[in-house]
Chains A and B, each alone.
Chain A
Amino acid sequence: MHQVIERDANREMIDMQSEPLLNVTDLTVNYDGVVALDHVSLTAPAGQLYGLIGPNGSGKSTFLAAISRHGKVTEGRLEFAGRDYTGEPAFVAARLGISRSFQTVRLQEDLSVLENAMVGADHHRITRPVIFNWLRLVRNRREEAECRETALSALERVGLVDYKDQFPSSLSYGMQRRVEIARCLASDPKLLLLDEPTAGMSPAETDDISELLMGLRDSGLTQILVAHDLSMIHAVTDHVFALNFGKLIAEGNSVDVANDPDVRKAYIGVADEE
């Protein structure tokens, strides 16, 4: 209960101050001397759908891993809704409201579609120590029912409610991706990070996902979308960040960024410098 109140209070604070949801300052990531991200600073106000683009190896996934705290941060500062979470582990970032998908589909094969989505909805209960959840036999039943409702409405948003009793292995790739998005949505995130959600999808499936993401944006969810498909980025995003060699080389609306000389150079493959 306490946590819920705290969460709502946090949310109100964001609304009132309308400060940036995500604030990244001088983010640098080194892997054994290789600089994967080099002093990247950016600010992302709430409510928009952001695109993150860049050629292979430009640092997009490293950036996503760093801000979800799955990957390391060598230097710099991460702030979410005004709170510094640079040193926190990934599960704390998730509890703050940063939800993410991965490049590969990661569903539990032995859980049904509904149960997979319920895992996301468990989000607020899982903050309690195991022993409290374990011995709360009567209240668990009620909470389980609520969690089921949350998961069902998330599945409804992604259009998979009819498949709730199926297992992930019997769904198409595109549908599995949507189950993952439902799992994220069930956790009621404030920021959704999507790592190439449409990679390997048919154009029709990609269109479905685009529509879904724009719908979520319209309902107020802030998202950062990593994608290779520039036409999709162009179609759905409000604001684009372009990375190359671990540096932020351009940002702005998708047309401006696409026309940026540095971005063109990075994509067309003109040799850098000498």
Chain B
Amino acid sequence: MLNFFSSNEILLQTIAVFSLLAFSVQISLRAGAFSLAGVGCWAIGGYSLAISDRHDMHPVIGVLIGIVVSAIISYLLALLLVRLRGLYLGMATIAFNQMVGIALIHGGDFTGGELGIYGIGARISTFQLFAVLALVSFLLWALERGMLGRAYNIVRDDEPLAASLGIDSESMRRFAFVLSGAVGGLAGALNAMMLGIVSPTDADFPVIVIALTMVIVGGYHSWLGALIGAALIQWLPIGLQSFGIEGMSEWWSVVYGLLILFIAVYMPRGLLGGLQRLGSLMARRHQDFREA
């Protein structure tokens, strides 16, 4: 067991960090906001940590700065984009991510230009990463159950109904937006500590694609889906190799594409949704069997 952990330490760390990134996107999707601004916050969080590290600040301070800056920017973004929905909101938030990327390139010595900032001294252990992941998972669990869970369901699916029930959709969505940004910033800061480097590509398109893929594959209706998606997507390239198929890594993107197609067509609620449906089918069959 210990052997497994030490030989897969990098994979586990990556899973933890990318789970947090997936949470960031899942939080806003769950609230009915197709926002990818979490990726911009991921870059902001990473740079906040890197810059505060360069000024010899404690890593915890660096992480907190990343969270707070991301949350404030997300709040302003939420005020600006309040009327946008669906694809338009998606496009606007992608544009925000691009703007973050461009600002980082042109930030001069402050952001290190195109090369970014490397040689970050702050480090984080696998245990610490998983402690943070557990804490955030717990907070999201609390947000998704009971009354808030029901209310967010309705805000996502039927705004007029939400209003008729006294639910202030706008403020609930704004809260999700800010939380999504904060978690994105946290994820970015931890990623910077894990890799020791940040670069303007952190806000680039590939990161958006991977963040969205993790959430869609795992299922955006729950934090658990995002976690499953992140673990699967990060493990898959390594997993394929360990099946001993030589040269499989070249085919990785084909497998990746097929997987996404399959899930999009047959499991609109992602792997978690598929598993839940399977579970309830089995339970029903079991009940029928007992009644018969």
Contact = CB atoms under 8 A, between A and B. Distances in A.
A134 B151 contact: no
B56 interface: no
Interface of chain B: mostly helix, strand, loop or mixed: helix
Contacts of B151: 119, 122, 126
Given A106-B161, A108-B154, A91 B146 contact: no
Interface stretch (B12-20, B169-177, B228-236): B169-177
Contact of A133 (B147, B160, B163): B147
B142 A134 contact: yes
A137 interface: yes
A99 B164 contact: yes
Nearest to A125: B147
B81 interface: no
Interface of A (DSSP majority class): helix
Looking at A89, A90, A99, A187, the one whose CB has the most chain B CB atoms below 10 A away is A90
B163 A70 contact: yes
B165 interface: yes
A90 B175 contact: no
A147 B172 CA distance: 20
B153 A94 contact: no
Interface string A73-110: 00000000000000001110011000110100010101
Interface string B165-195: 1111101100100000000000000000000
Contact of A123 (B161, B165, B221): B165
Interface in A123-156: 123, 125-127, 129-131, 133-135, 137, 140, 143-144, 147
A187 B166 contact: yes
B9 interface: no
Nearest to B162: A91
Contacts of A95: 166
Contacts, number: 83
Size class of the contact patch on chain B: 20 to 34
Contact of A144 (B147, B160, B166): B147
B150 interface: yes
B153 A102 contact: no
Contacts of A126: 147, 151, 165-168
Contacts of A122: 147, 150-151, 165
Nearest to B172: A130
Contacts of A129: 171, 175
Contacts of A102: 160-161, 164
A176 interface: no
Contacts of B175: 129-131
18 contacts: A70-B164, A90-B164, A91-B163, A91-B165, A91-B168, A94-B164, A94-B166, A95-B166, A106-B161, A108-B153, A110-B221, A119-B165, A122-B150, A125-B147, A126-B167, A130-B175, A134-B142, A144-B146
Contacts of B148: 130, 133-134
Contacts of A54: none
B68 interface: no
Given A111-B153, A122-B151, A90 B163 contact: yes
A38 interface: no
B177 to A, nearest CB: 11
A122 B166 CA distance: 9
A118 B147 CA distance: 8
9 cross-chain pairs, A with B, having the tightest CB-CB distances, nearest first: A90-B163, A94-B166, A130-B175, A95-B166, A122-B147, A91-B163, A106-B161, A91-B168, A123-B166
